[in-house]
Amino acid sequence: MDLTSQNQLFTFKSIFESLEDAVICHDIDFKITDINPAAERLFGFTREQIGKTVSGTMENTIFEEYEHLVDTVRSGAKINDFRTVRRSVTGEDLHVSINISPITDAEQKLIGFSQMICDISDEYAAEEQQATLAAIIEGSEDAIVSKTLEGFITSWNKGAQGIFGYAAPEVMGKHITILIPQDRIHEEDYIINKVRAGQRIEHYKTVRLAKDGTEIPISLTVSPIRNRQGRIIGVSKIARNITSQKLADEKQAALAAIVESSDDAIVGKTLTGIITTWNKGAENIFGYSENEAVGQHISILIPPDRLDEEERIINSIKSGIKIDHFQTIRISKENREIHVSLTVSPIKNSDGIIIGASKVARDITAQREAENALKSNSQKLMILNSIGKSISEQLDVDVILQKVTDATTELTGAAFGAFFYNKINKEGESYMLYTLSGAPREEFEKFGMPRNTAVFHTTFSGEGVVRVDDIRKDERYGKMPPHFGMPDGHLPVVSYLAVPVISSTGTVIGGLFFGHPEPGIFVQDHEDLVVGVASQAAIALDNSKLFEEVKTLSLKKDEFIALASHELKTPLTSMSGFLQVLQKTASDGLNKVFLDKAIKQVDKLNILINDLFDISKVQAGKLQFNFEQLDLGALIGDICETFEQTVPGHNYVYVREGDLVLLGDKMRMEQVITNLIGNAVKYAPHSRDINITAVNHDHEIIISVIDYGAGIPAAEQVHIFSQFYRVREKDRNISGLGLGLYITKEIIERHGGRIWVESEPGKGAAFKFAVPLMQHTH
């Protein structure tokens, strides 16, 4: 071997030894002739393998594959970059790339083969990874797109097609702006600049255009693509369609905005009552900020006497029951009571388990105040109504004025009120105090009567209402010596209201005055109310005056009737006397008959006069009674006897039964029985029988006087006990004033009884009355 060959050999040997790839050489019988260090490193072989066959280094199937490869090479073909798997001594499978070359001697005779094995495990792993990524990318519903830094699209997955509608061939190489709405083009510069600076953009929410022009809300994640040298060569872009998420987000945002902007307090709490959320409304209503409230127990809002409500509410919530419009009171941070209407609903987690409660509290203080105002207004109306009623019913001036003063003082909220008569004393100064409300009379009397000052003059001259927020600042105030205003110790009047009371004739009767120690108390409403009451009061006072006049007239009328009755009876008395004297001496015959008739007429005349006199007494409430133990049974018997003698021609059938003693006025009862039997005789002249019964029934004595005459039509029965009413008015041949039953009814009622009539026209009439039986006290 020459030196050159020698040198060449060494060179090959050196290359062989320093090769990165493993080289294993063997002869044509597969006996290993050499291995290089790389083979030792890769497979864990040692030089001891030399001389052993190749088959010992590999699995049977792999060796078969290898034999086949070697045959291929033997036949002259090349095996280049054949990829397979080889196992190392330690049992590790390695992905490898194999080149097999024939080894020839100097005579070109095949003496063996060399296989160069390149470990491609890393490459293989990378390929696998890429395949996985590609599969992921292809399978992703997100649009995954890559583009150059200039914005030209370089890849486009199925997701991108799904979202944007373009197929990959349509967009490859196109500029990314085809996806960007006109008004968002600037976004691209921003994104690219970020990416160029090596930054990632995550969850960038924007809108992109689909092929059909629809705007699609997306969330973008953009990353730089680097080459091996780390240089940024492109942009990968993942776009997620967030239409549905956006809707949910929008809904949530809207809900949040609603909660936040609600005037109602919206509070979340746990089932143990710990506050978990707290909106602006809650802050406004209860005064606690979110920081102060969250984590606190809900009881900070509950008045101590209502703590049990919370338990009831929570129990309700625990059983899943919502609470609606529960009106209650809560307290604010400043300890102010707030009327609230609560709506409490359970909060459920995604498993449907109740984990807390949401509470919406509406401040209904204003509503309550409105209700109270309404109540107070209706109260005022009630006062007005009652004052109107009571003063119009009243005829006593003192009572009217006191009621008016009291009511108006209450209505205006004045500290004190007074009515002053419009009367001026000799000096032309003082007004007469009449009634006071809210302050003792002495408070006024120690200063004497109010004086004829400029302030009062307006009212007493009837010029109109004076309403001043602060009387001390009024120009009319403080002009009059000696006090120049209110004397020391005067009731503290600051707010001042004065209303004249003017009669229908225009005379100023007086004035209603109100005071309050605070300024600005009286408002237009008060003024209107008092003016209203004052006019009613004026009417009532006018009525009262009229009543006094009528009362006087009525008294005069009573006096007149008494006198008239006396004057009528005086001649009647002597006439009756003389006629009776004559009757006693007259012989039978025409004279006696005429005298009887004359005496009867005198008696009738006397009854008429008595009725007239009685009626005036009934009207004046002056009919007097002398109640004593009275045997009504016996009395009726006596009267029947009298009738038998004086009015013959009827059978007075009297039936009595039981105890008939009452507490009664004998003369008046006699008048009643006489009237009833007299009526029967008068209105049923052809009734042979007049039945009179007296029975004791259930603590009452019931008397019936029954005739069998024409009877009384039902329509007339109701009027029969009225004054001046007479049945069958047209029937002029029956005399009477129509007063008898009216007086009879009055007498019965004054005995605590009642009177009524039962009648069937054509069959007669039954007048009945019931009076209480005397209570025996033994």
Partner 1 sequence: MSKKLVYVLEDDADISEVVSYILSEEGYEVNGFPTVAAFNQMILQRLPDIVILDIMLPDGNGLDICRQLRMDERTSVVNIIMMSANTTKNEIMGSGCGAEFIAKPFNIDHFVARVNQYA
- Residue closer to partner 1 by CB (options 551, 604) is 604
Find the part of the chain contacting partner 1 (CB under 8 A) among 72-80, 234-242, 573-581, 749-757.
573-581
Q: Which of 704, 738, 705, 735 is nearest to 722 (CA)?
A: 738
Q: Which of 765, 768, 763 is nearest to 744 (CA)?
A: 768
Structure tokens of 302?
């509950």
**Binding flag, residue 430, partner 1 (CB under 8 A):** no
Which phi and psi (to 5°) does residue 62 adopt? -65, -40
Which amino acid appears at position 734 of this protein?
I
Residue numbers 637-666 binding partner 1 by CB under 8 A: 665
Q: Which of 398, 265, 240 is nearest to 332 (CA)?
A: 265
- Residue closer to partner 1 by CB (options 97, 565) is 565
Find the part of the chain contacting partner 1 (CB under 8 A) among 264-272, 455-463, 570-578, 751-759.
570-578
d(CA 485, CA 762): 85
- Residue closer to partner 1 by CB (options 114, 565) is 565
**Binding flag, residue 674, partner 1 (CB under 8 A):** no
Which phi and psi (to 5°) does residue 608 adopt? -60, -45
Q: How far is CA 371 from CA 339, 400, 731, in A?
A: 12, 32, 65
Residue numbers 716-745 binding partner 1 by CB under 8 A: none
Residue 570 beta carbon to partner 1: minimum distance, rounded to whole angstroms: 5
**Binding flag, residue 428, partner 1 (CB under 8 A):** no
- Residue closer to partner 1 by CB (options 154, 565) is 565
Sheet holding 232-241, edge to edge: 153-156, 143-148, 232-241, 215-226, 201-209
Please enumerate in sequence order all residues whose Cβ is within 8 A of that of 252, keeping only pairs 6 or more positions apart, or say none: none
Residue 420 beta carbon to partner 1: minimum distance, rounded to whole angstroms: 44
Which phi and psi (to 5°) does residue 239 adopt? -115, 125
- Residue closer to partner 1 by CB (options 384, 607) is 607
Q: Among 131, 381, 562, 718, which residue interacts with partner 1 (rule: CB under 8 A)?
A: 562
- Residue closer to partner 1 by CB (options 185, 563) is 563
Q: Among 463, 578, 601, 754, which residue interacts with partner 1 (rule: CB under 8 A)?
A: 578
Q: Among 44, 577, 761, 762, which residue interacts with partner 1 (rule: CB under 8 A)?
A: 577
**DSSP helix/strand/coil, 77:** coil
Find the part of the chain contacting partner 1 (CB under 8 A) among 92-100, 114-122, 624-632, 649-657.
624-632
- The partner residues of 205 in beta bridges, in order of sequence, read 219
**Binding flag, residue 621, partner 1 (CB under 8 A):** no
Q: Among 354, 572, 608, 737, which residue interacts with partner 1 (rule: CB under 8 A)?
A: 572
**Binding flag, residue 9, partner 1 (CB under 8 A):** no
Find the part of the chain contacting partner 1 (CB under 8 A) among 79-87, 212-220, 540-548, 574-582.
574-582
Find the part of the chain contacting partner 1 (CB under 8 A) among 221-229, 537-545, 567-575, 631-639.
567-575
As a three-state string, the secondary structure of 348-369 is ECCCCCEEEEEEEEEECHHHHH
Residue 574 beta carbon to partner 1: minimum distance, rounded to whole angstroms: 4
Find the part of the chain contacting partner 1 (CB under 8 A) among 257-265, 383-391, 469-477, 562-570.
562-570
Find the part of the chain contacting partner 1 (CB under 8 A) among 209-217, 334-342, 348-356, 619-627.
619-627
Q: Among 185, 255, 546, 581, which residue interacts with partner 1 (rule: CB under 8 A)?
A: 581
Q: How many chain residues bind partner 1 (CB under 8 A)? A: 24
Q: Among 565, 619, 696, 717, which residue interacts with partner 1 (rule: CB under 8 A)?
A: 565
Q: Among 84, 390, 576, 723, which residue interacts with partner 1 (rule: CB under 8 A)?
A: 576
Residue 632 beta carbon to partner 1: minimum distance, rounded to whole angstroms: 18
**Binding flag, residue 602, partner 1 (CB under 8 A):** yes
Q: Among 613, 643, 708, 721, which residue interacts with partner 1 (rule: CB under 8 A)?
A: 613
Residue 578 beta carbon to partner 1: minimum distance, rounded to whole angstroms: 6
Please enumerate in sequence order all residues whose Cβ is within 8 A of that of 663, keeping only pairs 6 or more positions apart, or say none: 627, 628, 629, 630, 751, 772, 774
Long-range pairs of 276-282 with CB within 8 A, sequence gap ≥ 24: 276/356, 282/361
- Residue closer to partner 1 by CB (options 225, 607) is 607
d(CA 723, CA 736): 12
Structure tokens of 590?
């025409």
Q: Among 355, 667, 714, 718, which residue interacts with partner 1 (rule: CB under 8 A)?
A: 667
Q: How many CB atoms lie within 10 A of CB 436?
A: 23
- Residue closer to partner 1 by CB (options 89, 581) is 581
Q: Among 570, 591, 601, 722, which residue interacts with partner 1 (rule: CB under 8 A)?
A: 570
Sheet holding 323-331, edge to edge: 275-278, 265-270, 354-363, 337-348, 323-331
Instruction: Kindly provide the residue ranges of all beta strands, DSSP E only, lying in 242-333, ordered along the sequence.
Output: 265-270, 275-278, 323-331
Which amino acid appears at position 115 of this protein?
Q
- Residue closer to partner 1 by CB (options 476, 666) is 666
Q: Where are the alpha helices (DSSP H) in 466-589?
A: 524-585
* Cis check: omega of the bond before 487, within 30 degrees of 0: no
Specify the pairing of strand 337-348 against strand 323-331: antiparallel
Residue ranges in contact with partner 1 by CB under 8 A: 562, 565-566, 569-578, 580-581, 584, 602, 606, 613, 624-626, 665, 667
